[in-house]
Amino acid sequence: MTWFRFLFFIVLFPVSTFAQTPTPPDWTNQYWPARWILHPTSPARQYGIYHVRKAIELAQKPARFVVHVSADNRYRLFVNGKAVAMGPARSDTQNWNYETLDLAPYLQAGRNVLAAQVWYMGEGAPFAQMSYQLGFLMQGDGETEKIANTDASWKIYQNPAYSPIKNDIPKLRTYIVAGDGDRVDAAKYPWGWEQPNFDDKAWVAAKPLGFGTKPRGFGTDGNWQLVPRTIPMMEEGVVRLATVRRVVNGKMDNAFLQGKAPATVAANTKAVFLLDQGHLTNAYPELTVSQGKGATVTLAYAEALVNAKNQKGNRNEVEGRTMLGFEDQFIADGTSKRTFRPLWFRTYRYLQLTVETKDEPLVLDDLLGQFTGYPFQEKAQFAASDTTLKSIWNVGWRTARLCAGETYYDCPYYEQLQYTGDTRIQSMISLYVTGDDRLMRKAIMDYEHSRFNDGLTQSRYPSADFQVIPTFSLFWVCMIHDYWMHRQDDAFVKSMLPGILSVLEWHEKRIAKTGLNGPLEWWNFVDWSAWKNAKDETSGGVPAGARKGGSSILSLQQAYTYFRAGDLLAHYGQNERAEHYRELGRKLNKAVFAQCYDAGRGLFADTPDKTSFSQHANILAVLTDAVPAAQQAALVQKTMTDTTLTQATFYFKFYLFEALKKTGLGDQFITQLKPWRDMLAMGLTTFAENPEPTRSDCHAWSASPLYEFLSTTCGIRPAEPGFKSVRIEPYMGDLTSVDGKMPHPLGEIAVQFQKTATGGLTGNVTLPANLTGTLRWKGKSLPLKAGKQTVSL
């Protein structure tokens, strides 16, 4: 070999041939040298906020410095004084998440300080927070990073400035389980604790826990079973309040909210400032104050103000209304530029500052919010000849965003819990508007992890408070079917089949001799409707016949799920089981028709005694084919117009909209949006849990029109599992034109349609490479190929 060739060889193959980079350890398959650390004397399962620090020396600025980090309950990590991460992503102790972070961009040659705020909320933790005990963990990825491993070389300090504020059900007069607020006394706070030059000599050595640190499946005991985080870090960005709406005993204008002019509260004064964001948001408020030693600032947060009867009314109105909301509190120490930020985000449209000064005036320097949420990107678009639909799209998207963080939330203000009934709808919005399926996958896994000895999934998870809704276990199965139809991910879907079978079996065992299901245990929630003749049910949202048996609604939902489970089982080769559950579904349908169909009214009753009727039973009868196909459209029409029926609320209208598509009545979808227009007229900036009066102003199950604009109005739906082909059947109603696009695993699907004067359809369809499909319009069809094509039917 000549020298020229030898040098050429080195240039081409320097790593693979001569200088192999060491393969990083697989931390999912070995014990970790790092140890969980905690305070050596403070109780590990009681409320406490802690700071941990370690200084490390580096010979040079690293190109890569990867660490794996976790904590219980949570941590906020700083490197050389800069906040770089928060976590861990919420989970349970048997699937405890850790974040993998490259700290290299924040490090320098010489001395560096790693620091974290770690908190344990004790009995004041949110219900969504599961826990083992206080702890913090950092594991360096390789030889270079092992200097960062948590052990007794780390220092720790318990922060005495913090105490909890109860924001509970008695205080706020409603079901709220989002945890305690924060009270911080600035005079006791170790200001600058995260900065490299902070003097930590008085801090004590951290206590390493005696048991080994391990990934899931290792060890002799439970504690934390570590698994890698599967979702991205949350988005964060500045948002500012828009308007000063009311001032009592003080002066403040919008320049303060814009960060342009401070506001001062005189000594020995109680001043109140009501501030309006203009729309609901999730954010970490950051309030900076100066002077005012001993002054107390109470920050209160609300979706809307209430009148003397605790009613919200129009959300824009403040006259004659007061704040009833979640609170934090900060006590000033008289020093300049002290910033209060709560440990967890707050949800608010209105933020009220109540300032009570002592002998010094207090200067309010600035107040801003750091928006937080899952980093969804709005990739879909929708426009129509009726431009008012754009407001429904925008408000629906804000609703969906505020209900998505490290899990999906039913509502960000009151619960922040991931409920399956909600999540199924939220996942479809995520797929259609963003194309991001990671949070959906995590949710499916969360529910899989929640299964208990009955075989059912829990209704909401992660949750420290055990709750079971059997109907939500069925919707978990349907959610897996949704994922299967929209994504090619066979290994993941197959891994869910054992759990699916356990849910199906639980319900099968409860089919009575009548052929209907029941009696049923647990909370068989269907909808927050005004159910009639459900006096035997002690819990809200449950129709007649659950506790005693014989509910047509619950029997039909069981059949609805069996048919979808049959599709999954057959696809993965379990044909006998597939047919078994399909046959059970058909038998349930026949039993419901025989015992609950009222021929005189042409409607399905809720129970065989036929004393109550609902939209829900009739919607499900259509979706399951319990009524002959030729009669389905008429039944849906009657279901929508008969006002004597128990009405579906925003949540269950998702299934009404599915019935419209199934029966070719999708043209009526747009006219069904009046309740959403009514919410906008009431000043809501997100869509509510229920029709007025409602507890929650932001509930993502009410954002379903986003999905329907794309799947019904634009008509875009998968034609086969994995979205391997597309069926486009637009239902435009009275619209003359629609224009929409949505992400697909292969690229982007775009449609642009106009109706002709004679009732035809013209326009363009663009499909990504390697995707084909069919366009349907009023009984006619046209094949679609990849690329852009002009269509006319």
pLDDT tens-digit profile of 677-717?
Answer: 999 999 999 999 999 999 999 999 999 999 999 999 999 99
Q: What are the backbone dihedrals phi and psi of residue 493, each rounded to the nearest 5 degrees, phi first?
A: -65, -40
| pLDDT value of position 518 | 84
Taking only the tens place, the pLDDT of each residue in 213-250 is 899 998 888 899 999 999 999 999 999 999 999 999 99
Determine the residue type at 172. L
| pLDDT value of position 477 | 98
| pLDDT value of position 210 | 86
Taking only the tens place, the pLDDT of each residue in 663-680 is 999 999 999 999 999 999
| Cα angle value 119/191/90 (rounded, 5°) | 20
Cα–Cα dist 186/201, whole Å = 21
Q: What percent of the chain has pLDDT over 70?
A: 97
Instruction: Give the start-to-end residue ranges of the domains of the chain.
Output: 37-228, 249-373
Among 600, 729, 760, 562, smallest CA distance to 660 is for: 729
| Contact call for residues 332 and 297 (beta carbons, < 8 A) | yes
Residue 536 has pLDDT above 90, yes or no: no
DSSP letter at 180 equals -
| pLDDT confidence bin for 530, thresholds 50/70/90 | confident
- Which alpha helices (H) appear in 461-574, and where do they start and end? 470-486, 490-495, 497-508, 552-571
Residue 18 has pLDDT above 70, yes or no: no
DSSP 369-384: EEEEE-------EEEE
Residue 20 has pLDDT above 60, yes or no: no
Q: Which helix (H) or strand (E) holds 578?
A: helix 575-596
Q: Is 416 helix (H, G, I), strand (E, B) or coil?
A: coil
Cα–Cα dist 566/558, whole Å = 12
Residue 461 has pLDDT above 50, yes or no: yes
Q: What percent of the chain has pLDDT over 90?
A: 94
In CATH, the architecture of 37-228 is Sandwich (2.60)
| Contact call for residues 619 and 633 (beta carbons, < 8 A) | no
Residue 137 has pLDDT above 80, yes or no: yes
Cα–Cα dist 362/340, whole Å = 14
Taking only the tens place, the pLDDT of each residue in 90-99 is 999 999 999 9
Residue 765 has pLDDT above 60, yes or no: yes
| pLDDT confidence bin for 5, thresholds 50/70/90 | very low
Among 402, 398, 243, smallest CA distance to 318 is for: 243
Taking only the tens place, the pLDDT of each residue in 649-664 is 999 999 999 999 999 9
Taking only the tens place, the pLDDT of each residue in 306-362 is 999 999 999 999 999 999 999 999 999 999 999 999 999 999 999 999 999 999 999
For 84-118, letters b (16+ CB in 10 Å) and e give: bbbbbbbbbeebbbbbebbbeebbeeeebbbbbbb
Cα–Cα dist 157/556, whole Å = 57
Residue 769 has pLDDT above 50, yes or no: yes
Count other C-beta atoms under 10 Å from residue 560's C-beta: 26
Among 535, 404, 542, smallest CA distance to 472 is for: 542
Lowest mean pLDDT among 14-28, 499-513, 595-609: 14-28
| pLDDT value of position 538 | 66
Q: Is 263 helix (H, G, I), strand (E, B) or coil?
A: strand
Burial of residue 656, with CB atoms counted within 10 A of its CB: 0-12 exposed, 13-18 middle, 19 or more buried: buried
Count other C-beta atoms under 10 Å from residue 416's C-beta: 27
| pLDDT value of position 212 | 83
Q: Is 240 helix (H, G, I), strand (E, B) or coil?
A: coil
Q: Which residue has the tokens 């979205």?
A: 723
Cα–Cα dist 154/134, whole Å = 15
Find the mean pLDDT for residues 424-440.
Answer: 98
| pLDDT value of position 21 | 55
| pLDDT value of position 3 | 40
Residue 6 has pLDDT above 60, yes or no: no
Please tell us whether the domain made up of 249-373 is placed in CATH 2.60.120.260.
Answer: yes
Taking only the tens place, the pLDDT of each residue in 362-418 is 999 999 999 999 999 999 999 999 999 999 999 999 999 999 999 999 999 999 999
Q: Which helix (H) or strand (E) holds 423?
A: helix 420-433
Find the mean pLDDT for residues 183-197.
Answer: 98
Determine the residue type at 441. R
Average pLDDT, the chain: 95
Find the mean pLDDT for residues 196-216.
Answer: 94
Taking only the tens place, the pLDDT of each residue in 30-59 is 999 999 999 999 999 999 999 999 999 999
Q: Is 249-373 the same fold as 37-228?
A: yes
Taking only the tens place, the pLDDT of each residue in 470-495 is 999 999 999 999 999 999 999 999 99
Cα–Cα dist 712/377, whole Å = 22
| pLDDT value of position 22 | 64
| pLDDT value of position 9 | 34
DSSP letter at 14 equals I
Which residues have C-beta within 8 Å of that of residue 121, sequence separation ≥ 6? 47, 73, 129, 164, 179, 180
Cα–Cα dist 21/24, whole Å = 9
| pLDDT confidence bin for 1, thresholds 50/70/90 | very low
| pLDDT value of position 539 | 75
